[in-house]
Structure 1
């Protein structure tokens, strides 16, 4: 009996499970709530507030332990568990590879490597290579994405993805569609880079999950959770043109169950410059403030509950150099003056039930008081959104069910809006990601929307992912999209008064049919270099397309549903390289053909380049903590909105490029100094043109002569038969300028 007891005791001792513990860090700072798990098992945990984790009851054997967190590259470590507890620490670096966590493509947090939908991910580090006062300008370094200025005077703009106009791009903040139409350019301003966790971009229709406006693609700006943000940060830079940008933020613990993150952005530019000598400001003067606050509450079983809000106010104007506010709205001195006030509210609450069900909601209120010369434009837009999402896994099926409703209110003082446009659009969507095998995943989805103005709208979706190896992915996506047009919130040219707006018919929703192929590959060289290749090909066919017609009559913008079809197709390639010795580089190129065909006649879409390229090269000298970043972009010719046969301005833009260089010195763990030159080549769009703004000397057309049919007559004072028009714009008017800044971060 005694021998049996000894034998059982030894057996139990030998079979005793071990413990694995340690910390997950980044640059020696802890990462709270990071995921730590054993590959191929259901064993896993999250780190605590101090970045520490513990895995209990681990039996003897060989394992691969993985640590991951959104915005950082996942790290794998192989260990052998024998006798005795193991201490295993991880040090994560900011992402740029295949393993970063993405949520935008499927409304679920998944590895980019596993996502059936191709998602591009950009961290704050990427945008800091060329510091800008807002995300709108920062996107100029993303392949296939172009910030487009729509007016030479007030400098408002939108975001083009793969050649499609801004209204086809949906902009989300923390997954909520609160930025649209009237507020696109303003929603992308005033969010400090230091508060951004990452920016995710999906190119191609996403209407099956996100509804109207996600026809060309979507941009999701994901802000940091308070517990992941630095304790305090300040970032300030000024430029040689007199621009000043100031970011400030901090986080705090409120009680035992709440964390709050505060951030503020202030931008000021009050230095009128007229380098092209047309008596108009080259860049709009701006006075902007934005205040952001985000709360995260700790709940039992790690259930989610977060609230965020932002207030934004801006006073911007552009116009004749002698303009001041006493001329606002008059016809003596021309100016475009815009007062904008908006607030946003976002929330996410996981229901206290056994199933994973989240209630997400948002509300925005946008008030705009603006004048374009002597034309007032007073507008209000309110958007309320709520959705319930049920995440359910059944064997090899990863299901998602959604019930949503969107409330839109829009009113302005234009003749086109006799009564406020108010509508509530209920929606129902379902998605099923099926694991066919380890290498093959199939995603099926569909969405149903009911718009009382247009009836039922159905948008199906399909995605297939094939992963032949750990570092190769082939994806095929197909689906449909729809867009309900709100004309005056989307077309700035319709507001300037430079052209008459003609709406020939009641505008029906646009519909699109899209296919997209994507290949993603990661290479590891013998020298330790890492190269990532991302290639895509797409084809989108539109019916009921609404494309502004600038050509039929130079004094009008004509809107109607296209009788024929509109097509966008193209190829894009991205290359990211970690070359070693402190050198990193990336490059991308997009070739696209965007055209419409009506009555057998094919025309290229206006203000759409045939090719575009971006690049960045970074070098860090570790002994001195000195970094150099060289970034740039290049755009091919695009067709421009000229005003008739006599207009001497070019019908096509030249190939043009904006290039920047920056030096950054990290003096210690928390402090950075940076300085550089923007637009090294000193390129501006007036080069090669006699003028940019038509009739800048007569902005109210007081000396323009018309015939009985309303056509402009050529006279000695107006030899080109032009009217005032600032819509001939395709690039920024700012030339070469220095900048210098300071960043202090206390983690």
Structure 2
């Protein structure tokens, strides 16, 4: 009897247990759709399976109750989900790619939308999220964490600057918006601010000459700012940030729809800093005071056959000043209290229209006007620049050849109150330059793993005549595209206008002297690039991007600060200039939540004339950058640690008696940020310049005598040493290599409505 009861109990327990066994079903997808071969594992039960071709999985006979489920796939961030069986419905899981740039679309290298991995031209892509790790109020400052790219402040007083790529100054870098050469000439110095960052989708960086496609100025490389497509932009976005120094920055973005065919993207930026600070005690503002307003509008029209038509415009107004702490607008242009006051008014218009028909023909156009009203002490600089640009391209695929033919025209009008536009007898003669050109490019698919790109451009400059610029690019990739090798070579040219590009030529501290009529600069460039991507079984991702570069210049235009401390002497270099070096970018993403982006560049930029070789001024030999991020998914918190480090640079001294160091010290600017999401809201804050590094207080020579009243000059204009001026110095703000702004806190908030 007892034995029968025991057997019955065992049978009942078994039946109950069988009924308690549950089936666990679900679906896994990534950014592009369902994911196959995803590992689904329950560690407490030691059970697992993989997803099928449609991203579905099923596990049978699981015990009811709470279980932890781990989802992993090489190249994707590991997901951990807690479930309670039985489920009311199949589980839906979304996995994030570890390498978001794996199949990034780029346009800067070939003027065509192609996968970054398929592009024969090495292009670095930085998404808008990259710049959020160290939020800044302008594009100029944002680029400080890009390897091989350095924002260079050119004046200790007004803080204007340019962007260096691989040691080459700002005028050698072309800055584009949506592929159009908007930022050039005067805006190389004054127009790199005010682009609403809420509207930026990504920034593409090409290092090395790109004159074959983009013409003059793209000698050192190009930076292409790609704005968001209207259909992908959020319905509304807002970003407000303030710092402990009193800086306030506001970015706004708004998407609107007119009917079924027209979409509009509107953006605005306001930056306000009106708090004079002099922490180094030299009597001058440490940071330029700025009031800046920028407005951006982009319209996209849906046309039959998905033909492209977009039109965009931007307006910028900025009032900035720096100088002695007692300066106010009534002293503008006078010789009582020194100040550098700059009013900038700038408009831009650009767009793309794809012609009707079967053939792929695009017309791209842009126009901009730049008005400059500046004073540097009692020296005035008034300038007006207008540029019109049009380009017609035709793409045709014929077998293994993909041809791109183009014709372009650029008209540049420039007028100012300097000798640059002074004619015979002192009459004003504005500069008017016509630059028609034509180019051809053939991208040849040699095999499924290799491509060859050949290009040639011809331009006719109405002042300097004919200019030819060829290029050659070769790319090989492994079958799985985890290894990519690129070899590039090309020619670049640049026609310089000193007064639109070099702030030092405009200040009242030195006289400008032209030793000769300046000829166009030319360069030859070679670049070797190797990319290697690694995925581990634990779900980690590593990318290594190494490059070697060499650029050889002839006719290099070099400002001579050293022959006469009271002059800047411009002439074409009677010799050669070389920029060469190596760089390495390392990206790593770990399933644990850590992400690392780090880079280093080692370079040598030299000038050689009459057998003597010297290092270029204000150029470091080594630079390093890093962005280290850690995400805590459970509380939606992110920590970002960013920074850069620079080796010593040779600085412009004012003569043999100048006792300031000839080289800057090693220095590093480091920042930390914590951000937290609350649905549509994101709150962020942190500290910039953690090490509180600033240049020495004597960076401005003779800051106490900005009008050189107590400086004695001889008949040749040279400074005479006196007991009051034993080092034979004059007032000079060009001894600058780093920002004067020390440690500061910041706090910001973002609000986004996606639809």
Superposition TM-score tier, normalisation by shorter sequence: 0.7 to 0.9
TM-score normalized with structure 2 length: 0.87
Q: Deviations over 1:597-640 (max 9, x none)?
A: 11000000000000100001100101111110000000010000
For the residue of structure 2 that corresponds to 1:405, the secondary structure is: strand
Q: State the shift of 1:645 in Å.
A: 1.5
Tell me if 1:229 matches 2:233: yes
For the residue of structure 1 that corresponds to 2:158, the secondary structure is: coil
Tell me if 1:181 matches 2:182: no
The CA distance in 1 between the partners of 2:170 and 2:749, in whole Å, is: 33
Partner of 1:448: 458
The CA distance in 2 between the partners of 1:213 and 1:74, in whole Å, is: 39
Q: State the shift of 1:716 in Å.
A: 2.3
Match among 736, 742, 746 for residue 749 of structure 2: 742
Question: What is the number of equivalent residue pairs in this alignment?
Answer: 674
Partner of 1:582: 593
Match among 83, 102, 108 for residue 104 of structure 1: 108
Partner of 1:514: 525
Q: Deviations over 1:174-195 (max 9, x none)?
A: 0000111211244321122220
User: Where does 1:270-419 land on structure 2 (aligned, <5 Å)?
Assistant: 270-418=274-422, 419=429
Tell me if 1:711 matches 2:718: yes
Partner of 2:606: 595
Partner of 1:698: 705
The CA distance in 2 between the partners of 1:516 and 1:380, in whole Å, is: 38
Match among 477, 482, 499 for residue 471 of structure 1: 482
Query: Highest Rg: 1 or 2?
Result: 2
Q: Relative to 1, partners in 2 of residues 1:91 and 1:391: Cα closer, same or farther, differing over 3 Å?
A: farther
Unaligned runs of 5+ in 1: 1-21, 27-34, 39-60, 65-72, 76-87
Match among 605, 625, 628 for residue 639 of structure 2: 628
Q: State the shift of 1:95 in Å.
A: 6.1
Q: State the shift of 1:98 in Å.
A: 2.8
Partner of 1:730: 737
For the residue of structure 2 that corresponds to 1:548, the secondary structure is: strand
Q: Deviations over 1:355-402 (max 9, x none)?
A: 010000000000010100000100011111110110110010011000
The CA distance in 2 between the partners of 1:256 and 1:62, in whole Å, is: 36
The structure 1 segments of at least 4 consecutive aligned residues displaced by more than 2 Å after TM superposition are 22-26, 35-38, 61-64, 88-98, 184-188
Match among 488, 491, 511 for residue 500 of structure 1: 511
TM-score normalized with structure 1 length: 0.88
Partner of 1:82: none
User: Where does 1:79-228 land on structure 2 (aligned, <5 Å)?
Assistant: 96-228=100-232
Q: Deviations over 1:703-746 (max 9, x none)?
A: 11112222111222212111110011111000000000000011
The CA distance in 1 between the partners of 2:203 and 2:173, in whole Å, is: 14
For the residue of structure 1 that corresponds to 2:131, the secondary structure is: helix
Q: Relative to 1, partners in 2 of residues 1:63 and 1:471: Cα closer, same or farther, differing over 3 Å?
A: farther
For the residue of structure 2 that corresponds to 1:430, the secondary structure is: strand
Tell me if 1:488 matches 2:518: no
For the residue of structure 1 that corresponds to 2:559, the secondary structure is: coil
Which protein has greater RCO, CA pairs closer than 8 Å, 6+ apart? Answer: 2
Tell me if 1:439 matches 2:439: no
Match among 682, 690, 695 for residue 692 of structure 2: 682
The CA distance in 1 between the partners of 2:97 and 2:511, in whole Å, is: 54
Partner of 1:260: 264
Greater shift in the superposed pair: 410-419 or 388-397: 410-419
For the residue of structure 1 that corresponds to 2:699, the secondary structure is: coil
Partner of 2:557: 546
The CA distance in 2 between the partners of 1:92 and 1:629, in whole Å, is: 19
Match among 238, 248, 255 for residue 252 of structure 2: 248
Q: State the shift of 1:62 in Å.
A: 8.1
For the residue of structure 1 that corresponds to 2:212, the secondary structure is: helix
For the residue of structure 2 that corresponds to 1:383, the secondary structure is: strand
- Tell me if structure 1 keeps the 8 A contact 2:238–2:253: yes
The CA distance in 2 between the partners of 1:672 and 1:570, in whole Å, is: 40
Tell me if 1:526 matches 2:537: yes
Q: State the shift of 1:90 in Å.
A: 8.1
Q: Relative to 1, partners in 2 of residues 1:394 and 1:440: Cα closer, same or farther, differing over 3 Å?
A: same
The CA distance in 1 between the partners of 2:558 and 2:357, in whole Å, is: 48
- Tell me if structure 1 keeps the 8 A contact 2:310–2:353: yes
Match among 560, 563, 567 for residue 578 of structure 2: 567
The CA distance in 2 between the partners of 1:584 and 1:74, in whole Å, is: 13
Q: Relative to 1, partners in 2 of residues 1:63 and 1:393: Cα closer, same or farther, differing over 3 Å?
A: farther
Q: Relative to 1, partners in 2 of residues 1:36 and 1:174: Cα closer, same or farther, differing over 3 Å?
A: farther
Tell me if 1:605 matches 2:612: no
Unaligned runs of 5+ in 2: 1-26, 36-51, 56-73, 77-91, 423-428
- Tell me if structure 2 keeps the 8 A contact 1:97–1:532: no
Q: State the shift of 1:24 in Å.
A: 9.4
- Tell me if structure 1 keeps the 8 A contact 2:493–2:520: yes
Pairwise CA RMSD: 2.2
Q: Relative to 1, partners in 2 of residues 1:600 and 1:115: Cα closer, same or farther, differing over 3 Å?
A: same
Q: Relative to 1, partners in 2 of residues 1:380 and 1:524: Cα closer, same or farther, differing over 3 Å?
A: same
- Tell me if structure 2 keeps the 8 A contact 1:74–1:100: no
- Tell me if structure 1 keeps the 8 A contact 2:99–2:541: no
Q: State the shift of 1:667 in Å.
A: 1.5
Q: State the shift of 1:92 in Å.
A: 6.5
Q: State the shift of 1:89 in Å.
A: 11
The CA distance in 1 between the partners of 2:512 and 2:294, in whole Å, is: 33
- Tell me if structure 2 keeps the 8 A contact 1:152–1:727: yes
The CA distance in 2 between the partners of 1:515 and 1:62, in whole Å, is: 45
- Tell me if structure 2 keeps the 8 A contact 1:96–1:122: no
Q: State the shift of 1:227 in Å.
A: 1.2
- Tell me if structure 2 keeps the 8 A contact 1:305–1:349: yes
The CA distance in 2 between the partners of 1:281 and 1:436, in whole Å, is: 59
- Tell me if structure 2 keeps the 8 A contact 1:249–1:262: yes
The CA distance in 2 between the partners of 1:616 and 1:62, in whole Å, is: 36
- Tell me if structure 1 keeps the 8 A contact 2:140–2:163: yes
Partner of 2:467: 457
The CA distance in 2 between the partners of 1:433 and 1:461, in whole Å, is: 12
The CA distance in 2 between the partners of 1:92 and 1:431, in whole Å, is: 37
Q: State the shift of 1:416 in Å.
A: 2.6
For the residue of structure 1 that corresponds to 2:557, the secondary structure is: coil
For the residue of structure 2 that corresponds to 1:547, the secondary structure is: strand
The CA distance in 1 between the partners of 2:95 and 2:632, in whole Å, is: 20
Greater shift in the superposed pair: 707-716 or 204-213: 707-716
Q: State the shift of 1:417 in Å.
A: 1.5
- Tell me if structure 2 keeps the 8 A contact 1:136–1:185: no
The CA distance in 1 between the partners of 2:215 and 2:135, in whole Å, is: 33
Partner of 1:422: 432
Q: Deviations over 1:548-582 (max 9, x none)?
A: 11122222111111111000100000000001211
